[in-house]
Structure 1
């Protein structure tokens, strides 16, 4: 009985968090980043560890 109650509370809590998140900001698939950006042509931005330093020191 204890596991059933705990599992029910956990699932209800996760469902409540998902509902609160979805109601605060409705999902917009047109503004979402691509799931996999392999070969998408999107340039990296921000701190990119694989970027080589600029030899001109700019």
Structure 2
């Protein structure tokens, strides 16, 4: 029982540390620079995903 409690405690500390690091170093997203969620027929190509790397 002691090992399980230690493992859960260390995991929780690690996760909270990662969240705190991310909040401290990341800037908030700019909604005006975000790509449209649905852009059917707009002519805009997708970017940033594996489907954007298709050969032309």
TM-score tier, shorter chain, comes to 0.5 to 0.7
In 2, distance between residues paired with 1:21 and 1:48? 28
Shift of 1:33: 5.1
| Structure 1: gaps (5+ residues) | 54-58
Choose 1 or 2 for highest CA Rg: 1
Q: How many residues align?
A: 47
| Structure 2: gaps (5+ residues) | none
TM-score of the superposed pair, with normalisation by structure 2: 0.55
Q: Which has the higher contact order (CA 8 A, sep 6+)?
A: 2
Higher helix share: 2
When the two chains are superposed, the root-mean-square deviation of aligned CA atoms in Å is 2.8
